[in-house]
A and B are shown apart, each in its own frame.
Chain A
Amino acid sequence: MDLKKVAFSPDDASNVVKECIEGIVGGVDYSQNKVNQWTASIVEHTLTQLVKQGKPFKYIVNCAVMQKSGAGLHTANSCYWDTTTDGSCTVRWENRTMYCVVSVFAVAIAL
């Protein structure tokens, strides 16, 4: 039985996130009516793709979409976990009318 702990791969997760964002808000402009379903779709699709990888992790996916209008936005994360197995990855994306910041946190499950 292989008891080696699997570590989180931020690069893999980052690619999954980028594909999801492009697929959902790729060429569109910020729309107050639709932003609600965009953020929900991004987190759901990203989560589904990550779970499909079948790795022994619990996941948290967070997405913030902000209209480009000159306002300042700052975000920070702090985590209290096992640094050898757990990890996170944050993707910043933008187009002409909006910014999108997606964070994925993966916490190892003890098998």
Chain B
Amino acid sequence: MDDDQSAEETAFVVDEVSSIVKESLEAVIGRNPYEQKRVNQWVSSVVEQCLGQLSKLSKPFKYIVTCIIMQKNGAGLQSASSCFWDNTTDGSCTVRWENKHLYCIVSVFGLAI
């Protein structure tokens, strides 16, 4: 039982991270339309909030959070990531979110210390 608990405490749990990201997006952007003047502070707030919540989990990880916000205008957007790490301990989670006016892609990468 102790082993299970300690494994949980030191593993990268995708669902947990995914909910943290979704909550941040809802809180910062919610139903707002794309506004050129505000989107700068939105991307910053989203990544800072996610990082804050992740570090509160107190797991032995270094984190990288990236956020892309794009206006819905018919343009195509493609994003890819490639990682060179330790497959047994490190992990990532990407959340695609949208509202009526914009798309948002947030990626979280967790690297074990």
Q: A residues engaging B (CB < 8 A)? A: 30, 32, 35-36, 38-40, 42-44, 46-47, 50-51, 58-82, 86, 88, 103, 105, 107, 110
Contacts and interface: CB of A to CB of B under 8 A. Distances in A.
Contacts, number: 143
B82 A44 contact: yes
Interface of B: 34, 36, 39-40, 42-44, 46-48, 50-51, 54-55, 62-86, 90, 92, 107, 109, 111, 113
A80 B63 contact: yes
13 contacts: A58-B85, A58-B111, A62-B81, A63-B81, A66-B76, A71-B72, A72-B34, A76-B44, A77-B65, A77-B67, A79-B51, A80-B51, A81-B63
B66 A72 contact: no
Given A74-B69, A81-B64, A107-B85, 11 more contacts: A32-B76, A60-B84, A64-B78, A66-B78, A67-B77, A72-B73, A77-B66, A79-B63, A79-B64, A80-B64, A81-B111
Contacts of A81: 62-64, 111
Contacts of A67: 75-77
Contacts of A59: 83-85
Contacts of B77: 64-67, 73
Contacts of A68: 75
B78 A105 contact: no
A19 to B, nearest CB: 16
B73 A69 contact: yes
A72 B107 CA distance: 19
B49 to A, nearest CB: 9
Contacts of B84: 47, 50-51, 58-60
A66 to B, nearest CB: 5
B73 A70 contact: yes
B64 to A, nearest CB: 5
